[in-house]
C-alpha cells in the first residue's frame, strides 16, 4: 500500500514539474514574441523617421492587406502590419540604394573634377559632407571672375584709368567690410556679367541708354537727330 502511495506521489510531483516547465516555456515564448514585436515596431518606426516619404506606400500596402483579411483589425497596427510596412520600405530603400550612389558619383565628379573618383561610397559621402565649403570656394572664385569682368569693362571705356589708385580708393569702405553689402556687390556682379558684353564694349554703345528709351541714335560717338 505504501509503495502505491509513493508511486502516486511521484507521478503527481512529475506532473507538477511538467506543468511548471510548460509554464516556463510559455513565458519564454511570450517573452520572445513580445521582444520580436518590439524590435519590429521599433525598426519600422526608425525606418519611417529616416525615410518619411515611404510611409504613404506602407499605409497603402497595409490597407490593401487588411482588406483581404477575413478577420480585419481596424485598430492599432499589429506585428503583421509592421512587417508589411517594413517590406514596402525596404523595397523603397533598395531603389534609393541603386540611384543614390550614381548621383553621389556625378556630384563628386562635378565638384572635384580634378580628383579621381574614390572606389568606396563612404569616402565619396565624406567629401559630399564638405560640399558647402567647396561651393563657398567657387563663389569666391566667381566673385573674383566677376570683378575681373567689371574691370575689363571699365578699362574698355577708360583706357587711362589708374588701377593702383582704384585698388586703394575704397580701402576699408563698408562695401568691403560689411558682409551684407559684400553680398549685394556679388549680386550686382552676377546681374552685370549676364547683361554686359565686355568684348564688344565701346563708347559708341549708347552708354546713356538713349536708344532703349527712344532717344537720339548714337553712332561713332556722334548723336543723330
Helices marked H in the chain — which ranges? Answer: 2-50, 55-68, 79-111, 121-128, 131-157, 163-169, 174-177, 179-195
217 and 182 share a domain? yes
Domain count, the chain: 2
Domain boundary among 128, 152, 174: 128
Q: What is the pLDDT of residues 48-101, one digit of tens each?
A: 888 888 888 888 888 888 887 776 666 678 888 888 888 888 888 888 777 888
**What is the Cβ-side half-sphere exposure of residue 201, based on CA atoms within 13 angstroms?**
19
Of 128, 149, 178, at which residue does a domain stop?
128
Give strand pairing partners of 218: 223
Distance CA 225, CA 213 (A): 14
**Residues 26 and 103 occupy one common structural domain:** yes
- State pLDDT tens for residues 151-197: 666 677 666 666 666 666 566 667 666 767 666 666 665 565 555 44
- Same-domain status, 108 and 202: no
Q: Measure CA 143 to chain center.
A: 26
Amino acid at each position: 500500500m505504501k509503495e502505491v502511495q509513493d508511486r502516486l506521489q511521484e507521478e503527481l510531483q512529475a506532473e507538477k514539474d511538467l506543468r511548471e516547465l510548460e509554464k516556463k516555456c510559455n513565458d519564454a515564448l511570450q517573452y520572445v514574441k513580445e521582444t520580436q514585436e518590439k524590435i519590429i515596431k521599433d525598426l519600422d518606426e526608425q525606418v519611417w523617421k529616416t525615410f518619411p516619404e515611404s510611409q504613404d506606400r506602407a499605409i497603402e500596402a497595409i490597407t490593401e492587406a487588411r482588406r483581404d483579411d477575413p478577420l480585419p483589425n481596424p485598430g492599432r497596427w499589429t506585428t503583421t502590419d509592421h512587417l508589411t510596412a517594413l517590406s514596402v520600405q525596404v523595397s523603397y530603400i533598395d531603389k534609393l540604394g541603386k540611384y543614390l550612389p550614381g548621383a553621389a558619383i556625378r556630384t563628386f565628379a562635378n565638384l572635384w573634377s580634378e580628383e579621381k573618383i574614390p572606389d568606396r561610397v563612404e569616402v565619396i559621402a565624406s567629401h559630399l559632407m564638405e560640399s558647402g565649403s567647396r561651393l563657398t570656394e567657387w563663389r569666391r572664385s566667381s566673385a573674383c571672375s566677376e570683378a575681373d569682368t567689371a574691370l575689363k569693362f571699365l578699362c574698355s571705356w577708360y583706357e587711362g584709368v589708374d588701377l593702383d589708385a582704384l585698388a586703394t580708393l575704397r580701402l576699408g569702405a563698408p562695401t568691403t567690410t560689411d558682409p551684407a553689402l559684400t553680398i549685394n556687390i556679388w549680386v550686382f556682379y552676377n546681374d552685370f556679367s549676364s547683361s554686359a558684353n565686355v568684348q564688344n564694349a565701346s563708347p559708341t554703345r549708347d552708354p546713356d541708354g538713349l536708344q532703349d528709351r527712344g532717344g537720339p541714335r548714337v553712332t561713332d560717338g556722334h548723336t543723330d537727330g
